Structure 1
Amino acid sequence: MAEAIERSGRSAQIELVCTLICAVDGSVVSALVEGRGPRAAALATVVDLIDVLAPVDQRPVPF
């Protein structure tokens, strides 16, 4: 997951990637218990948290 985050131009600290994974896992479990769609819950969690936990990397890309 960290590699995918970095390839999308975001800065990822491994501790925060673990936090994101735990949040997504929790939202999926909650959705399953409540009878909702787990994919939609996971997507909503990522959308809500990605900017906080893996912000866009503003450093220039070397050539």
Structure 2
Amino acid sequence: ARFKEDHMRRAGDVCFAEVYREGGGTIGIVDYTNYDDMKYAIKKLDDTEFKNAFSKGYIR
């Protein structure tokens, strides 16, 4: 959990983050403490690479 939160915190204050597998893919949900951080995250982090010790993917 820590890796995804650290990546998403680059855009604002994260209050919740979860990653799970669904339909052969991986889905992540991130909640920000305010609307402006959420909008900024969409703009700043879209199409950025997320990786950890086990895998990597792209934020969409």
Per the normalisation by structure 2, the TM-score is 0.30
**1 or 2, which has the higher helix percentage?**
1
User: Which fold has the larger relative contact order, with Cα–Cα distance below 8 Å and residues 6 or more apart in sequence?
Assistant: 1
**1 or 2, which has the higher strand percentage?**
2
Larger radius of gyration: 1
